[in-house]
Chain A
Amino acid sequence: MVLLLQKEQEVTASMNEQPVMVFKDVVKVYPLPSGDVTALGGVSFQVDRGEFISVMGPSGSGKSTLLNLMGCLDTPTSGDIYISGTRTVDMSDKELTEVRRDRIGFIFQYFNLFPLLNIIENVTFPMMLKSKKEVDPEKGRAALRSVQLDDSLFTHTPTEISGGQQQRVAIARALINDPDILLLDEPTGNLDSKTGAGIMELMSELNRKGTTIIMVTHDPNIAKYSRRTIHIADGMIVE
């Protein structure tokens, strides 16, 4: 019995120790009529559970391509990508969609909430995608409270609340399916500095509680909230 318990603890520990994301020699080439464009030229890195990483680089450096590959929105030309130990490069569109739904939480610069749905429905949308049925709105309310959104706003539509509040809703939506990793694309790019700082404080708090975060930004002040920075230039990691 003791042995069994030990074994179980070892398995759990090994899962927790497994990197959330691994990139191995990832190359992404876009074939264009005027000639192939190499957006990423052999990128390798690893993201461990609980990390808060920012990816920085100038415009055209390959940040967006990297983000798309990390978010399973695209597949590499060559190389390997693992999300929580699962190889994703050979997955079908359906399988990649399931990975995005179950393991990745997206937070966009422009919030990208659904204007036809109210706040609660926006937050519970990924849950409904996963369960294929109606979900308990109480879970959505709890997620919204965890990002410090006032209860009185829950039945409003996205256009009726401020940008900062919309981004909090987007964060709650990203967290609702307990993803392995949060992917942030310029999360404060559309907010004033004070609201942006509030959002970043929230992200730091989530990270302290164990959420793994990768943030793509060009703003060094925002990058300061992360604990590690990956610099990218001309499709290569330079640091």
Chain B
Amino acid sequence: MIFWEIAKRNIKIHMLRSSLAMLGIVIGVVAIASMGILGNSLVLTVSDSLRTVGDSVIVTPHVGGMGGFGGGQGASSLSITEQNFQQIKRVSAPNIAIPVLQNADRMKLGVGGDDIVAPIYGLNPDDVPNLLTLKEGGYSRGDSGCLVGSTFANDNNVKVGSRIAIGTDGNKGTLRVTGIIEERGMAFDVSTDYAIVVTKNWFDQAYNRNDYDKVIVKVKNLDDLPIVKTAIENQMNKRDKIVDVVDTRKTMETLFQAFGQITAFVSAIGGISMLVAGVSILNIMMMSVTERIKEIGIMRSIGAQRKEVMSMFLYEALILGVVGSVIGGAMSLLGGYVISSVLIQTTKYLFVPSSLIYIVYGMSFGIVISLICGIYPAWRAAQLNPIDALRHE
């Protein structure tokens, strides 16, 4: 314990240089933790906007191929036929296969309102509850009703009961809003926040369609996602590749993996500042050893073992590392708060374990770097010849 005490006192009497060395660690911890928190917050922000899409297999016509679907149509007019849909439905059973039609068109809201252009989705009324949740109103059963996305409703002041004239000058007809869809964010299946959802019948009539743009298979057991994907691919792409099949969970995993790598990379850049701090610790520890050569000689001559001398300097490095890391950890919370507030406009992702772990990483790295950088000076001190050390002035 006396060596711990000596280490503490040595730091105290050299407070300025000890503080500067600790400042390096503080900066290193803040850099790693803040970057990590920022990266993680970005991931969480994106994952929140991509929610509810991790349980689907999305089937779309193969865009890269020539001919294929629908009797040799060009890539620009590819679609999924009723027959193909039935095949997909059969191999996906008992999971629900939802055919989706999509388009974009002009529409007018209210009398004298401006024309706007928005996406239009066509869905079977029976499928809508399986795919969309309403925050207001009810699902439309008849062909004269439609649902609108929440952003669409907010931006255009649309309420349940409002009427929307579709097409140029309303040539496709007028629909009554029966419900407002809960916010879904950007999704792989249907992005309805700024869209309207109509019945398949109305869509077929309005746009003269008898096929589909995509099929969404809602998989009940998430472990079956790859099985369903493979089954569809095997069935549909037997001879030519005519559909692209995307497992949304896998896609999200890949996406988050990429985000994770970006976060790790950014944190690693923060880690460079920690290495610089480590060099600073190494420097002041070497100074400490040089200044105390005689003291080391006295200790050794009166019976201190090499490992005890070594421990004294390692304690010193440890104290610098722990104090610097604790201060850095506290400042990282503050830094993370400020960065999140400024860059993401929310701090709700700061106090979650996946963000806070970066503070633990930063602090651990700070302590480990300090100790590693203390090893060589401590070893040098322990290896000093007591006779030479005693003679040192």
A positions within 8 Å CB-CB of B: 68, 71, 73-74, 93-94, 97-98, 100-102, 106, 108, 112, 114-117, 121, 125-126, 128-130, 133-134, 173-174, 177
Contact = CB atoms under 8 A, between A and B. Distances in A.
Give the contact-size bracket for chain B.
Answer: 20 to 34
Given A114-B299, A130-B303, 20 more contacts: A73-B301, A93-B306, A97-B303, A97-B305, A101-B302, A101-B303, A102-B303, A106-B301, A106-B302, A112-B294, A112-B390, A114-B6, A116-B10, A116-B13, A117-B2, A117-B5, A125-B2, A126-B302, A129-B304, A174-B302
A130 B305 CA distance: 10
B387 A68 contact: yes
Contacts of A125: 2, 302
A177 B294 CA distance: 22
21 contacts: A73-B301, A73-B386, A73-B390, A74-B387, A93-B306, A94-B306, A97-B303, A97-B304, A101-B302, A102-B303, A106-B301, A108-B298, A112-B298, A112-B390, A114-B6, A116-B6, A117-B9, A121-B2, A128-B2, A130-B303, A177-B303
Contacts of B295: 114-115
Nearest to A68: B387
Given A68-B387, A114-B295, A114-B298, A94 B1 contact: no
B308 interface: yes
A61 to B, nearest CB: 17
A125 B309 CA distance: 13
Residue among B6, B301, B302, B390 having the largest count of chain A Cβ atoms under 10 Å: B302
B300 interface: yes
Nearest to B7: A116
A126 B304 CA distance: 8
Interface string B50-85: 000000000000000000000000000000000000
B301 A71 contact: yes
A190 to B, nearest CB: 13
Contact of A129 (B5, B9, B303, B387): B303
A126 B2 CA distance: 10
A94 B2 CA distance: 19
Given A116-B10, A129-B308, A98 B2 contact: no
A81 to B, nearest CB: 16
Given A68-B387, A125-B2, A100 B301 contact: yes
A151 to B, nearest CB: 22
Nearest to B391: A64
Interface in B266-321: 294-295, 298-306, 308
Contacts of B300: 97
Q: Which 7 A-B pairs have the closest CB atoms?
A: A101-B303, A116-B9, A112-B298, A128-B2, A129-B303, A100-B303, A73-B387
A96 to B, nearest CB: 10
B35 to A, nearest CB: 39
A133 B298 contact: no
A100 B387 CA distance: 13
Contacts of B304: 97, 101, 129
Nearest to A133: B1
A53 B157 CA distance: 108
B123 to A, nearest CB: 78
Interface in B337-392: 386-387, 390
B307 to A, nearest CB: 9
B306 A134 contact: no
B386 A94 contact: no
Contacts of B2: 117, 121, 125, 128
A98 B294 CA distance: 20
A65 to B, nearest CB: 9
A14 to B, nearest CB: 27
Nearest to B6: A116
Contacts of B303: 97-98, 100-102, 126, 129-130, 177
Contacts of B298: 108, 112, 114
Nearest to A117: B6
A157 to B, nearest CB: 10
Nearest to B389: A73
A106 B340 CA distance: 62
A52 to B, nearest CB: 21
Nearest to A74: B387
Interface in B1-41: 1-2, 5-6, 9-10, 13
A33 to B, nearest CB: 17
Contacts of A100: 301-303
Contacts of A73: 301, 386-387, 390
